[in-house]
Structures are given as structure tokens and as C-alpha cells.
Amino acid sequence: NAGVTQTPKFQVLKTGQSMTLQCAQDMNHNSMYWYRQDPGMGLRLIYYSASEGTTDKGEVPNGYNVSRLNKREFSLRLESAAPSQTSVYFCASIRSRSRETQYFGPGTRLLVL
């Protein structure tokens, strides 16, 4: 099992460019999550997908869109990147939404110039 994988590992964008961060899990988990981590702050939830075909906003959704492509894959899209979106992005998944812990990917470092 690869667990949770994320691509790319690192990306540099110019302001206004768009890109999609990819996340996949091979654990047959139902729920998937996108977080961002900024220096001096804890992880903050951007969007989540409780099950295939559903998505919901988290704490900081502005400037992002998501797609739950199938049960395995959950992508995060930046339509017009801004310097404030410079961050480390983590994807996570969980089999069921209570009494269990989330499994995290290794992260994508994004720098927006």
C-alpha cells in the first residue's frame, strides 16, 4: 500500500496562474480532506469530501475548488493563484468519519510569486 500520495511535491507559480494538486489513496477510504499549513499556524481545513460525489467547504475555502473524481482521488484546484496561497498543502483520508484517525500524504509545497 502506498497510502496517501500527492503530486507534485513542489511547485512554483506566478500570480494569476492556475494549477491542480492531485491526491490519491489506495486504502479504500470514504472521506478525504485538503489542509494548508502556514508557518506559525496549525493546519487549516480547506475542503473535504465525506464520500464519493460529495464535497463541502472547510475553514478556509476561498480561492480553491475541489473535485472528488472517484473514491480514490481528490484534487484541489487554484484557479488564479495569489501569493497568500503560498503554503504547504496536505491531503488526508479516513475510512469512516468517527473514532478513527486520518492518514496524511507527504504534502505539496507551493510557492506563488
Partner 1 sequence: KQEVTQIPAALSVPEGENLVLNCSFTDSAIYNLQWFRQDPGKGLTSLLLIQSSQREQTSGRLNASLDKSSGRSTLYIAASQPGDSATYLCALDQTGANNLFFGTGTRLTVIP
Footprint of partner 1 (CB under 8 A): 4, 31, 33, 35, 40-45, 48, 50, 58, 90, 92, 94, 97-107
Q: Which is nearer to partner 1, 78 or 91 (CB)?
A: 91
Torsion of CA 98, 59, 70, 95, to 10 degrees: -10
Q: Which is nearer to partner 1, 17 or 103 (CB)?
A: 103
Nearest distance, CB of residue 98 and partner 1, angstroms: 5
Q: Which is nearer to partner 1, 80 or 97 (CB)?
A: 97
CA distance 64 to 80: 9
CA distance 111 to 81: 10
Q: Strand locations in 4-63, DSSP E?
A: 4-7, 10-13, 19-25, 31-37, 43-49, 56-57
Nearest distance, CB of residue 64 and partner 1, angstroms: 16
Nearest distance, CB of residue 100 and partner 1, angstroms: 8
Q: Which is nearer to partner 1, 3 or 83 (CB)?
A: 3
CA distance 113 to 111: 6
